[in-house]
């Protein structure tokens, strides 16, 4: 009976210790959240694509960049934008 009491006490301490550790880790990781990069004003963003172009997909990139998959009449491209300035950094043409 004494061994059972010791075992229950040890397990209780482990549960409390684990819970405290989990809460501390969640608080630490929440504090390290990276702030979202400000997006340039909508009037400043322009893909400068020809008529008939449609956006097929969008994906966030590193360092405040945005990748936009466009389908143009002359082929598909990946347009890389800088969200801070709204500038088009480059285009990657998809070979067919």
Domain residue ranges in the chain: 1-33, 42-93
The predicted-structure confidence for 29-84, as pLDDT tens digits, reads as follows 887 755 555 554 544 566 778 888 999 999 888 888 889 999 988 889 999 988 88
Distance of CA 47 to the CA centre of its chain: 22
* Four-point Cα dihedral 8, 13, 16, 22, nearest 10: -120
The half-sphere exposure of 42 on its side-chain side, counting CA atoms within 13 A, is 0
Please indicate whether residue 96 or residue 48 has the higher confidence score (pLDDT).
Answer: 48
Q: CA-to-CA distance for 92 and 2, rounded, in angstroms?
A: 72
Backbone angles phi, psi at 55, to 5 degrees: -85, 125
């Amino acid at each position: 009976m004494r061994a059972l009491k010791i075992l229950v006490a040890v397990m209780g301490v482990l549960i409390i210790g684990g819970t405290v550790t989990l809460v501390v880790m969640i608080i630490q990781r929440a504090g390290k959240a990276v702030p979202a990069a400000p997006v340039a004003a909508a009037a400043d963003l322009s893909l400068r694509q020809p008529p008939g172009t449609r956006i097929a997909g969008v994906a966030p990139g590193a360092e405040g960049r945005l990748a936009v998959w466009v389908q143009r009449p002359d082929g598909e491209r990946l347009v890389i934008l800088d969200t801070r300035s709204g500038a088009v950094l480059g285009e990657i043409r998809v070979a067919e």
